[in-house]
Structure 1
């Protein structure tokens, strides 16, 4: 049930999207990057509104997609088994710019128009984790679509008059990555009835939610190397 070429996670929390602070409180953590005694200040809880998703695969996978004229479930799989076609959020430079504007507005709600226009970019120095890179370790072939249109086509083909259902699937920890998975399925599939529904707003400590054609992601650690340090000048 893992992406092509990916090893099993070091820890997995089913039916939950755990925040970084809650992950660190668990007793099963073995990831060195989560146990560092000192991490420089960086932009925390930045909200990205992402409207595109990508499917990345290798040569074998892309040949299968072309042969089947699309993304299809293998015919030999049983209906009562978990099967996933993996899609990642595709974060664009515009998504990063918009997230930065929301982040700065939350810190400095009284910014003038001149301050907004003349401010130096911040998030470009921190958004260097794998989630923001165009390159992928899972293959050289990338298919990118609008999430809203992808869900519409999926619903049109598999859900009849109903809409696809989105559930919180798990939080999985890898060597240098925290993965939050949302499972999408037709209403007549009942494998995930006991999984929480994905919220449609960011109330509370929600990590991900879906609203108005976009997946909202409250990123808690965008940096991979922590070579930059966030410094706030609160003087007027």
Structure 2
């Protein structure tokens, strides 16, 4: 079980340090000032005056599991997800989980961006005196880039070129049948993982009565909630950039980077607990669940060195398809 209620260093590695705060989905104002502006603090809103309910809400219907070429071939050969990853979640405490991330639909992203675009329009009207500059549309689009644009909303991945997508409630149903033996799973706040410019809020999905999670509060949290089959995510930071509106001595307006020019962005992962004595999650992951995505080029030297271009991944995808 957990033994700490503050930030603890889990490891330092290729992608930088990994810190963990157990039992809570830590809010953005508790991260420290560096790289920590929420959406509502950009464009001059006072971060200390951030009000509840200002978060953008996203409906979640799918979870994704991203893997490399070796992982995709193994999953398709087995026709299910058998292997889990060991995760350290405390001092001398390592647990087997099957990791899935939430996916926001492109339609949902477009709707929320349109709302944000209207907010920016109003802010520009209040800030810039009439007549509006000729480049007002460019100003709008430049400011919009800092919202709903982080890797959490992109098809591109840091972890591989192959993405398995599953309906969130169907996946939970499979877990209920296989791991929970028909009992309703419990959704607990495992904690918050902090990286250089990423924050991962984690939900532990587990059978009832597992002692490891007995101190974990159950959902809802401020970040994610469930009402029946409906899931809602409420991130504070949806972008990885900071852009500010400026005016020079001649009266011209432009959008400029500020220091720091990047900020931490949030995402949510579901960690499906797998007991040591039976570390398998027999979900039928068939070819219909698989798609190809770009892998972030900066990860091409990341072990186990399975980076592929989109074109190379598409070729392997077709080869795999012929074998099924």
* Structure 1: unaligned runs, 5 residues or longer: 75-79, 105-119, 230-236
Tell me which residue corresponds to 1:23: 31
> Is the CA contact 1:58–1:139 (under 8 Å) kept in the aligned structure 2?
yes
Q: 2:187 aligns with which of 154, 158, 166?
A: 166
Deviates more, 1:89-98 or 1:122-131: 122-131
> Does residue 136 of the first structure (1) align with residue 137 of the second (2)?
no
Provide, for residues 59-80 of structure 1, a one-character-per-residue CA deviation record: whole Å limited to 9, x for no partner. Answer: 2221221232211246xxxxx9
Deviation for aligned residue 1:129? 0.6
After superposition, the Cα gap between the structure-2 partners of 1:52 and 1:179, relative to the gap in structure 1 and judged at 3 Å, is same
Going by fraction, where is strand more abundant, 1 or 2?
A: 2
Contact 1:91–1:132 at 8 Å: present in 2 too?
yes
Measure the CA separation in 2 of the matches of 1:216 and 1:123. 23
2:5 corresponds in structure 1 to none
Q: Structure 1's 161 and 35: CA in aligned 2 closer, same or farther, altered over 3 A?
A: closer
Aligned to 2:197: 176
Q: Compared with structure 1, are the counterparts of its residues 154 and 102 closer, same or farther at alpha carbon in structure 2 (3 Å cutoff)?
A: farther
Match of 1:65 among 59, 75, 87: 75
**Structure 1 residues 188 and 70, CA, compared in 2 at 3 Å: closer, same or farther?**
farther
- Deviation of the 1:123 alpha carbon: 6.8
Aligned twin of 1:52 = 62
Counterpart of 1:211?
227
CA deviation after TM superposition for structure 1 residue 22, in Å: 2.7
Displacement, 1:214?
A: 3.5
Count of aligned pairs between the two proteins: 196
Contact 2:179/2:207 (CA < 8 Å) preserved in 1?
yes
Superposed structure 1 runs of 4+ greater than 4 Å apart: 5-8, 41-44, 97-104, 120-125
Pick closer, same or farther for the CA change 1:166–1:8 going to 2, 3 Å.
farther
C-alpha separation in 1, matches of 2:240 and 2:75: 32
Whether the 8 Å contact between 1:126 and 1:226 is mirrored in structure 2 is no
Which runs of 5 or more residues in structure 2 are unaligned? Answer: 1-9, 85-92, 118-139, 246-324
Offset of residue 219 of structure 1: 1.2
The answer on whether the counterparts of 1:125 and 1:228 sit within 8 Å (CA) in structure 2 is no
Change (3 A) 1:138 1:194: same
CA distance in 1: counterparts of 2:177 and 2:200, whole angstroms:
28
Larger mean Cα displacement after TM superposition, 154-163 or 134-143: 154-163
Superposition deviation, residue 20 in structure 1:
0.7
Q: Which has the higher contact order (CA 8 A, sep 6+)?
A: 1
CA distance in 2, matches of 1:35, 1:127: 14
After superposition, the Cα gap between the structure-2 partners of 1:155 and 1:178, relative to the gap in structure 1 and judged at 3 Å, is same
2:108 is matched with: 95
Q: 1:17 to 1:125 in 2, by over 3 A?
A: closer
> Which of the numbers 210, 220, 224 marks the counterpart of 2:236?
220
User: How far, CA to CA, are the matches of 2:244 and 2:149 in structure 1?
Assistant: 11
Which residue of the partner structure matches residue 40 of structure 1?
43
Whether contact under 8 Å (1:208, 1:215) holds in the other structure is yes
RMSD of aligned Cα (Å):
3.6
Provide the C-alpha distance between the structure 2 equivalents of 1:60 and 1:7, rounded to a whole number of angstroms.
25
Deviation at 1:35, TM superposition (A): 7.8
TM-score by length of 2: 0.52
Contact 1:49 1:99 in 2 (8 A): no
The match for 1:198 among 207, 219, 234 is 219
